[in-house]
Structures are given as structure tokens and as C-alpha cells.
Structure 1
Amino acid sequence: MAKQPLTLYLAAPRGFCAGVDRAIKIVEMALQKWGAPVYVRHEIVHNKFVVDGLKAKGAVFVEELSDCPTDRPVIFSAHGVPKSVPAEAAERRMIFVDATCPLVSKVHIEAQRHAENGLQMIMIGHKDHPETVGTMGQLPEGEVLLVETVLDVATVQVRDPEHIAFVTQTTLSVDDTADIVAALKTRFPAIVGPHKEDICYATTNRQEAVKAMAPHADAMLVVGAPNSSNSRRLVEVGAKAGCAYAQLVQRATDIDWRALEGVASIGVTAGASAPEELIDEVIDAIGARYDVTVCTIETAVENVEFKVPRVLRAAE
């Protein structure tokens, strides 16, 4: 039986960003340098396939530093950690490597600088997300207040409305965040914002590509993990930008084909922690069912690269 024709739109950029690439490289280089096991506090990036691949090479994933022996190296995830974590590792005389994305570290430095200038911080982010926990943990309790929505802005209680600043989680929806920032500026005209947008280039670029692709596609598949903030935002952005149906899939086996019945076009993108081989797997699965014509919708070209920490670059 002849396959049904289908236009497959590929968003570009999609998938791995420089921070994720660097974090994975850090774990692999640590295993080369110190041998297995190497401990990793929290999932290095939010992707089960990536985590399982590193486990197979000898990485052991734990949630707390107390779960690590003191005689093995520990790596902190790309999402960043509260200040108390490296302090505890130093106290226990552990070898530790910080794989925090440099763009998250930039937000940490920003928060610190504002605090030194006597400003109380408001963080726009998702409660309990490791990046939010890490950023809020850069300053003493009560110095960083969390808002998740425009409604939260109306009720947040600050110490002094004349002395506040805001930072944001790097993986938020650009449009939703703009609404929250506008609400903050309306309620607190003196609020100080970041010099440059906190939402990272990769999150912004992937959302822009989805916005460009969404009006053309009857349905959209976002390759990413359910606990990946930037992947979940891509689903929301696609739906808001006019795509009738958007689905988050970890792998090709998760695709709900019944929901795609009758579509003439499918858009495919991937969150910043999804490897290219999982994207290829989804593309192949679509190709196996349909007579596919591929169109790439490219809105930016990325050539960002971050160096790994010196401890791993130094020749031993």
C-alpha cells in the first residue's frame, strides 16, 4: 500500500546546546581522568537516554552530596547548585567539578552583585526546579523571593520596593517571562533587571524556531524529557504559535500515532538536552510510516562553545 504523503518540518536550531554538550563532556573526561565510579549530584542534564549512557560508562547519579563517598570525584549538574554544596564538598575534602552551565553561573554572579549593592532579589522561575534552587541558594534565606506567574507578582512581599532587582531561570518561555517582567516593572518601577536577558540563547533560539514552524505544521513533536523545563516550554510555545497539536516524546516509541491520524504535516524539534540520535530516531519512525518531504525551518545558526574546567584540561 502506498504511503500517505507528509511534509516533515525540522526546526533549526534544535537539540543539544553548548552548556549541555559541555556538561556531558565533563562527566566523560572525569571518567577518563579518574576512572569509574565518578559521582554526579542530580541528573547531569534532564534526559534519561543521556543519563543511562553515562551510567553505562561508570557514572553514579545521586541526589545529595551525603550519598557520595569522600574518596571519589563528584560532579555538579549543568543546572547549578546552592553555595552550600561546594562548601560542603570542600569541607569533606572531596574532589569536585562544577558542570554548571556558564549562562546559569552568569545569573548566580548577577544575583551576588545585586545583593552586594543592597538589593533584595526576585527570581522568576519554577519552584523546586534544580536551577531555581541553585540560584536562590546563592544568597542567604529570604534574600531571593520566587515568582512563577503574573499573579504572584501582585502578592510578593518585598523589604523595600526601592531596593530590588530580578533575575530569571534560563529555560523559561520568553513570552511568558516578558509578561511577568512587565508586571514587576509596573508594581516596582525602581526594580533593576539584568544587563542582558537571563533566558539563554539556546532556549530563545529553539522557541523562535518553533514559532516560525508552528503555523505550517498540523502537529508537532518535541523530543525531550518530561522533567526538562526548556522542552516543556517548546510544547507550550508551539501550541500558542498556532500548531493544533503538540506532543512531548522522550523517544520514537512514545509517539501517539492515533493522535496524528489525518495530518498532512508534522513539525519536529527537540529540547536542549535531547541528543541528535533521539531526534533521528523520531524522524526515521515518521519516515517508516509516511512518504516524507523534509523542509528545514532555520531561524538562527549557533556556534557557541564553552570550555571545560581547567582541572580536566590540565595534563596529568
Structure 2
Amino acid sequence: MSPVSPVLVTGCAGFIGMHCALRLLERGCPVVGLDNLNSYYDVALKQARLAQLQPYPGFRFVKLDLADRQGLAALFDEVRPQRVLHLAAQAGVRYSIEHPDDYTDANLLGFANLLQCCRRHQVQHLVYASSSSVYGSNAKMPFAESDAVDHPISYYAATKKANELMAHTYAHLYSIPVTGLRFFTVYGPWGRPDMALFKFTRAMLAGETIDVYGNGQLVRDFTYIDDIVEGVLRVLDKPATADAHFDPLHPNPATSSAPYRIFNIGNSTPTVLLDYIAALESALGITAKKRMLPRQPGDMQSTAADTRALQAWVNFAPATSVGEGVRRFVDWYRGFFGAQ
């Protein structure tokens, strides 16, 4: 694999995409970053993330929507990437209930276009973002990649499950090494404004009441961004291979006779939402005013990651504590927004 071949990073102005692109650039790897800069949340934050990447001479930004089939094909013809890190998607569980068409266009049509380009250019590895939301109404904890994921409870989750099926088809038909990563509630500096930590911090600093869904008893496997990036890049460096022990009579959904893998990336430390808020209260030195509300449609009660497969594959498992991760986020937030 040529070290000078650029990695194509889709969603490079997004939370995880910016961090992964930055780490690649710091390693001396050229990056072509693609993003459509949509207005799902403040575009100024996306531009500020891009500003972290643009000083690197190995970085090139292309504004493009994955739904633009011809535009994407032309970009692949020009760049000819050997590795593709696909982090672009329409995110948000609750938003998908009100705006399903956005998810169809970005997460299904966009991913189909990307797979076709990867097929035409026989990329050496495609790594793409799936989500812990695919586990849906599963109740067995922790979630393992070998578990069935046939009961999503949001359209967002359904699109991510569909991505895994589409990816397997291309791995099987065209021998494209493809790895899907199920992220578990990612948080940290430069995070998304629609995520709980960002919303809680903004409201608490303004003296406003925070909305606490599930009466504070929802459980999430909060995973710090630096751990996500480390896992993503280690996986990117190790292309998926066929599982020599795959048994079609007892198929494991996480592997295949094709070069296809699925891995969880989570902290393996499920945390009750009220404890997460307590860590934020400690970092801010502010006691939150809470409005307790029922769980919203599409929200899972609990998530917890079994990461043994990831650890066996790339010798890594996330380990940043919630207390430490929240403190780092607060430090970034105060620095970026000038909050006291």
C-alpha cells in the first residue's frame, strides 16, 4: 500500500471525521476530505473544524454531497484513493423520525454511490461508521457483534443496519475489504451541538434548566473521541479479511467468508445518565436544574459494548473515564466559546 496515496475521509467537517482526518495528517498521511456542509447544525462549527485541518499541506477539502453520483465518481477518478474512511451520514436518532428523507438520501443513496466508486477502483479498504443503535430492542448486555440486529427502533438505526448489509454484498461480490464500526455515544471536544453533553453544558452555563429524558435512568456507553479515533485508525490500517472459521450453518453476523468485519467501539463502562450529568456538574462547578421527562420515541433504554473482538483484532480497547472525558470537553468548550 503506497504511503503517499491519500485517504478519502467523508464527513471531514463532522465531529469524528475532523478528529480522524487530523490524526491521519499528523501521521503524515495525505487526506482528501469530503463534506456537504449541510445545515443540520451550525455550519460555523463545521467551518471551525475544517480550519483545524487546512494548515496541513497534505489536506485538500472538497465540498460534495454523496448523493451526487457523477460528482463522486469524478472525484474518485481524480484522487484514486486506496483507502476510504466513510464517516459522512445524516446523524441523530430523534431527527430521523421527523425527517426520514434526509436519511434515505445521505445514508442509503450516498452509501450506495460510495460502494459503487469503491468497486470501480477496487479500493484496498473501506471503513465506514455504523452505530450502536442497530442493536435496537436487544436486551442482552453487553451488546456483541455476534448478536442479531434485526429489530431497530429508529429509522436512523435501520439505515445503519442497511449499510452493513450493503457493505457485505459488495465485499462478497467484488472482494472489497470492508469494515463497519459500531460507535457507542461518542463525546468530547468539537462534539455535535445536538448531543446531550453539548446541550447540557450550554444550558447550565446560561443558568437554564436541562431536559433529562428517561427520567435520568437511561444508560449509555459514553465513549471519548480520542479512543474512537485510535480504534478507527488501527482498523483502517488492517484491512478486513475473510474469516477462515466462518460456518454458513451457524453464521456469525460480525464476520463472513468475504473480506468483511464488524466491530464495536465503546468504552465498556455503561453509565447512568444522571451520573453523566453529575460528572458535568463537577467539571463546571454548577448544579444543574433538571426537568425530568419520559424516554422519547426511538431512544434505547441502555447500551453497552462488548469490545473483545476489537481488542483481538487490533489490540486496543477504549478506556478514558467519563469524568476525565467530560472535563476535557468542558475545557475545550470554555476555550472555544469563551465561557467562564
**Same structural fold, with TM-score higher than 0.5 when normalized by the shorter chain:** no
Shorter chain as denominator, the TM-score bin is 0.3 to 0.5
TM-score (norm. length: structure 1): 0.34
Which entry has the higher C-alpha Rg, 1 or 2? 1
- The structure in which a higher percent of residues are strand is 1
In the superposition, the TM-score normalised over structure 2's length comes to: 0.32
Does 1 or 2 have the higher relative contact order (CA < 8 Å, sep 6+)? 1
